[in-house]
Amino acid sequence: MTELTKEFYEELVEIRHYLHQHPELSNEEFETTKFLKRKLEEWGIAIVPTSMKTGVIAEIGDKSNGKVIALRADIDALPINEKTGLPYSSVNEGIMHACGHDFHQTSLLGAAKILKENEDKLNGLVRLIFQPAEEVQGGAVEVIQAGHLEDVQAILGFHNHPKLKVGEIALIEEGIMASVDQFFIKVHGIGTHAAEPQLGVDVPIVISTILTQLQTIVARNIPAREAIVLSVTHIETGQAWNVLPDDGFFEGTIRSFNQDLRKETKQRFVKIIENTAESLGASVEIIWGSSAPVTYNCPKLTKIVVEGSKKVANVIQATPSNAGEDFSHYQEKISGVFAFIGTNGEEGANGWHHSNFLVKDEALPIAVNYYVENAFHVLDNFLV
Please give the Cα distance from 330 to 69 (Å, whole number). Answer: 12
Q: Which residues contact 96 (CB under 8 A, 6 or more apart)?
A: 23, 77, 78, 80, 81, 82, 90, 355, 357
Strand, coil or helix: 129? strand
Sign for the pseudo-dihedral over CA of 110, 49, 305, 323: positive
Any residues with CB less than 8 A from the CB of 178 and at least 6 apart, and which? 227, 229, 255, 256, 257, 294, 295, 320, 321, 322, 323, 324
Query: What SS3 class is residue 166?
Result: coil
CA distance 321 to 302: 17
Residues making up the annotated binding site for Mn(2+) are: 99, 101, 135, 159, 353
Give buried/exposed letters for 152-166 (b at 16+ CB in 10 A, else e): bbbbbbbbbbbbbbb
Number of H helices, E strands in the chain: 9, 16
Q: How many residues would you count in the chain?
A: 384
Could you tell me whether strands 68-74 and 154-161 are parallel, antiparallel, or unpaired per DSSP bridges?
Answer: parallel
Binding residues: 99, 101, 135, 159, 353
